Chain A
Amino acid sequence: GAGVSQTPSNKVTEKGKYVELRCDPISGHTALYWYRQSLGQGPEFLIYFQGTGAADDSGLPNDRFFAVRPEGSVSTLKIQRTERGDSAVYLCASSLAGASNEQFFGPGTRLTVL
């Protein structure tokens, strides 16, 4: 079956602009995670959804970052007033919460803020 997909694969924007990054999880996966990976580092947790609700948003760096998952499937990560320091690869992962810990990652969106 289809894996986790993310769009766009690359996004270049200017400082101060608003961006939306989309994640399509594996069908039937109730848990969805967003991570951010800076160059040469491991992914860092941002936010976790169980169904439609954000169960843990402790990794969001500040209030410019927000994510939604209105129907419990597709999720959108929204970044307002982007800064150069937001440049990174944003990874999405999904899993069958409760049945397995294994998280399946998407290919990521590379965000570049000029």
Chain B
Amino acid sequence: GEDVEQSLFLSVREGDSSVINCTYTDSSSTYLYWYKQEPGAGLQLLTYIFSNMDMKQDQRLTVLLNKKDKHLSLRIADTQTGDSAIYFCAFYSSASKIIFGSGTRLSIRP
């Protein structure tokens, strides 16, 4: 079935880069997304990538897509305390709905 897998936790030092990885199942997905969820809030779209791209950069964020391996990653440069949140990988499936992973909780240590 349709699925997204992500590691549950990531801890990085403030100022370092964070890399959050996910794998997905639907090779025909058109868009892949990264959403951020802060405590008590809804999901906020961080960035997306179209499936015919392999990289997208947006300020501190870099998204890498390896379509052959169905692997998506999000790199956050110069990680700050405000980046502490849960990050969800998601893809737009062939069934015309977005499938979300379980989220990676990013914590920042001083």
**Chains A and B form a bound pair:** no
Give residues in B with beta carbon < 8 Å to A.
Answer: none
